[in-house]
Structure 1
Amino acid sequence: MRTEPLFQPIKSETDSARTVRLSFNDQPLSVPAGMSVAAALLMSGISRFRATPVSESPRAPYCMMGVCFECLVEIDGVPNRQSCLIEVSEGMRIHSQEGARDLIFQPVGVPFVEVQS
């Protein structure tokens, strides 16, 4: 059974030397600018992006084009983000997503009011 990562970065002469600093589960990373969050995490050796809500099975990107939803992570406090569709940015805080998460709809221009139970 194959155990090494299937995704490998392609080097070219036009690659930028610019890097972006971000964190995954509070661990600092420095990755090339201009790539997706999923690609950056995979090339950094991260193989577990989330856990399923029922069995807590580990999951990681599969399709890398936004179809399968296996790459969901929390980015800057917002859950259910498809990491394969989002470009890395400086200071981004990424966390693995453990189980199901609610996505709070927040219309633009309406202040958020947290309901205490």
Structure 2
Amino acid sequence: MTRIIDHPILGKLDDREIITFQFDGNTYEAYESETIAAALLANGIKKLRVHEGSGTPRGIYCNIGHCMECRVTVNDQANVRACLTVVKKNMVVESGKQHPNIVKRMVEQP
């Protein structure tokens, strides 16, 4: 894992509890009060979803909640922004998948 462990403003990570969460069926560790995006990136996960039409990979882009590229499903709730959502103990996060019906509609439109 790669993290800043002693930040001049945010403090030291060793003061925080380590919690576990799931992403696409695998268990990962995060620090309490860390966002899903930060926890995934620290665990080497860069691809959070695929583009609905083209299927190309998407990940963290702006990291401030404007671009919507980091949308994931959290505990069965779709379109949650990973960069703004704090990871919780035993949270289940799933990457965004390409849905065939969306691709078909996009192709059929003039």
Secondary structure of the corresponding residue to residue 96 of structure 2: strand
Percent of aligned pairs sharing the same letter:
28
Paired amino acid for 1:10: I
1:48 aligns with 47
* Shift of residue 30, structure 1, vs aligned partner: 1.2
Paired amino acid for 1:86: T
Deviates more, 1:16-25 or 1:52-61: 16-25
State the distance in 2 between where 1:47 and 1:83 align. 12
* Shift of residue 9, structure 1, vs aligned partner: 2.5
Secondary structure of the corresponding residue to residue 84 of structure 1: coil
For structure 1, the 5+ residue unaligned runs are: 1-7, 101-117
Aligned length: 93
Let me know the Cα RMSD of the aligned residues.
Answer: 1.4
* Shift of residue 49, structure 1, vs aligned partner: 0.2
1:98 aligns with 97
**TM-score, length-scaled by structure 1:** 0.74
Secondary structure of the corresponding residue to residue 38 of structure 1: helix
Question: Stretches of 4+ moved more than 4 A in 1?
Answer: none
Paired amino acid for 2:4: I
2:3 aligns with 9
Paired amino acid for 1:19: I
Paired amino acid for 1:39: A
For structure 2, the 5+ residue unaligned runs are: 100-110
Q: Deviations over 1:60-102 (max 9, x none)?
A: 01111000111000000011000100001001000001136xx
1:62 aligns with 61
